[in-house]
Amino acid sequence: MIKFDFETYLEGEVNTETFIAYSNSVDRARNDFLRENNMNDWYQFDMLLSEEELIDIEQTATYVRSKAELFIVIGVGGSYLGAKGIIDALTPYFKKDYPQIIYAGNSLSGEYLESLIDYMQDKEVVLNVISKSGNTLETSVTFDALYKSLKARYNEEEIKERIIVTTDKESGYLLEMAKRIGCKRFIFPTNVGGRFSTLTVVGLFPICVAGIDIRSILDGARSAKQNRRDYYKYLAVREHMYSKGKYVEVFNVYEPKLEAFTEWIQQIFAETQGKFKKGILPIPMVNTGKLHSLGQYLQEGTPIVFETSIDVEKNSDYYVEKYSRYMDTMNSIALKSVASAHHAEGRYTGIITIDEINPYNMGYLYAFFSIVSTLGAYMAGNNYANQPGVNKYKEIMRSQLNI
Ligand code: PA5
């Protein structure tokens, strides 16, 4: 169950007229998006994967769960953020009943790599290296290092069983490596960009290794696509806020296991809309902790911020005798108290409430934010699918390194 409240704590700024005023431009953006077919295969949540492909993902994941103590996902940006967001959200904080999952290749830290190589020495390891281009430096340097470490331990046949490559079907360094090693390959869909790839084999495979029901995630995504009213309203709120000089949107979560998901939300908005000197700066915030640092700025600092908070009604049975309430109820009260305090200072908050953190709701939220960021880019006249700024640093770095 998901509820959207884009009214209570936006009162005085956003009203029914605001939603009506923007609905035509959302309609136009939606029609343009559907007509242009610009990298938009991700939007076909009902046709993304055939039954055969889903079974392949599930069987390969079962194999990994039986073989690995340590499953290392190598990738950067859109190649891992969405999967990590969903895995962290849907697995327990401490006791995990699947192979330990570690993420690598998302930095150029030599120390991280050295200690990972050391850590994996006495463990049964399986690697899943993910890159659409197959050439991203962080990913390939990390893959080379971990592959070398496996070669020092295993023969060719055994290594083949321990590497799964997700990359383009036609080109790139990783494709060459996969062919040379002869390992299992998943195809990174051509017509889907990295940050939109989580509900394809790219993200669903690691998510499935974590023991999560990927079919329910897809069910949730399909419903988000159908419930147009909610994303129309949210788009109107964002457009309206931007027009009033609210250039920063803070995404508040009150359940720390949603932190990685907010990092993916940050990516989807920043890379999809932050172009041509336009776009709202997305800032993730994990509360109540951050209320004791950033909270002051949001309450009384420069008024360039609006907020979207995700409220989880009930995710545990922990009951606080002293206050005669569930801890989760206290958390929701904290969220609404903050929204109310900020509202009193003319700072506005939309609230998305989910009954619990489950695969269906995570699929819903994933699709919801993907659709909103895309249509928002169309409304601003931006190409939603590219990330020329990211590519620029990659080019300069490559030329500095002479590679
Ligand atoms: O979302 C995106 O498109 C980017 O963040 C890419 O995923 C990221 O740069 C990694 O690229 P690649 O998958 O080619 O290694």
Query: For 305-315, how does the pLDDT look when each residue is reduced to its tens digit (9 = 90+)?
Result: 999 999 999 99
Provide the pLDDT for residue 97: 79
Within 10 A of 248 (CB to CB), how many other CB atoms are there?
15
Predicted confidence at residue 154, as pLDDT, reads 95
What are 169's two structure tokens? 């079907």
CB atoms within 10 A of CB 206: 29
Find the 76 Cα to ligand 1 centroid distance in Å. 6
Q: How far is the CA of 73 from the centre of ligand 1 (A)?
A: 14
Amino acid 161 reads E
Do the bridges between strand 305-312 and strand 281-286 make them parallel or antiparallel, or are there none, so unpaired?
unpaired
Look at residue 334 and tell me whether its pLDDT is greater than 80.
yes
Dihedral sign of CA atoms 136, 193, 367, 25 in order = positive
CA distance linking residue 283 with residue 250, whole number of Å: 5
Residue 57: partners with Cβ closer than 8 Å, 6 or more residues away: 49, 186, 201, 204, 205, 208, 214
Asked whether residue 75 carries a pLDDT value surpassing 80, the answer given is: yes
- Confidence label for 47 from pLDDT (cuts 50, 70 and 90): confident
Mean pLDDT of the chain: 96
- Arithmetic mean of pLDDT, 64-80: 97
Active site residue 342: no
* 157 flagged as catalytic: no
CA of 186 relative to ligand 1 center, distance in Å: 16
- 129 CA distance to ligand 1 middle (Å): 13
Rounded to whole angstroms, the Cα distance separating 357 from 264 reads 16
Mean of pLDDT values over 158-179? 97
Among 75-79, 156-160, 292-296, 386-390, the minimum mean pLDDT is found in 386-390
pLDDT, average across residues 42-49: 86
- According to the model, what pLDDT value does residue 391 have? 85
Assign 339 a pLDDT band (cuts: 50, 70, 90).
Answer: very high
Cβ neighbors of 213 (< 8 A, separation 6 or more) are 359
**Residue 302: burial class (beta carbons within 10 Å; 0-12, 13-18, 19+):** exposed
Residue 38: pLDDT over 80:
no
The percentage of residues in the chain with a pLDDT greater than 70, rounded to a whole number, is: 100
Per-residue model confidence (pLDDT) at position 55: 97
For the CA of 138, the closest atom of ligand 1 is 15
Considering only residues 38 and 379, tell me which one the structure prediction assigns the higher pLDDT. Answer: 379
Pairing between β-strand 349-354 and β-strand 2-5 as defined by DSSP bridges: antiparallel
Given a cut of 90, is residue 100 above it in pLDDT?
yes
Q: Would you say residue 46 has pLDDT above 80?
A: no
- 257 CA distance to ligand 1 middle (Å): 24
Range 187-198 average pLDDT: 95
> Rounded to two decimals, what is the model's pTM?
0.96
pLDDT computed for residue 222 by the predictor: 95
Report the range of poorest mean pLDDT among 109-118, 343-352, 381-390: 381-390
Catalytic annotation, pick one of 249, 255, 271, 307: 271
**Residue of the CA atom closest to atom 12 of ligand 1:** 131
The pLDDT of residue 48: 82
Q: What is the mean pLDDT of residues 245-271?
A: 98
* Annotation marks residue 179 as catalytic: no
Looking at ligand 1, which residue's alpha carbon is closest to its atom 15? 131
**Atom 2 of ligand 1, residue of closest alpha carbon:** 194
One-letter amino acid at 10 equals L
Given a cut of 80, whether residue 195 has pLDDT beyond it is yes
Pick 393 or 300 by higher pLDDT. 300
Please say if the pLDDT value at position 328 is more than 80.
yes
SS3 4: strand
Q: Retrieve residue 226's tokens.
A: 């159908």
Q: Are 206 and 83 in contact (CB under 8 A)?
A: yes
For residue 142, give the H/E element and its range: helix 137-151
Tell the burial category of 5 from Cβ atoms under 10 Å away from its Cβ (0-12, 13-18, 19+).
middle
Q: Which of 17, 51, 156, 292 is catalytic?
A: 292
SS3 40: strand
**Residue 24 pLDDT level (bands cut at 50, 70, 90):** very high
* Catalytic choice (244, 290, 336, 394): 394
Q: Residue range 316-341: average pLDDT?
A: 97
**pLDDT at residue 332 is higher than 90:** yes
Ligand 1 site residues, Cβ closer than 6 angstroms: 76-79, 131-133, 136, 139, 193-195, 271, 387, 390
> pLDDT tens digit string along 271-294?
999 999 999 999 999 999 999 999
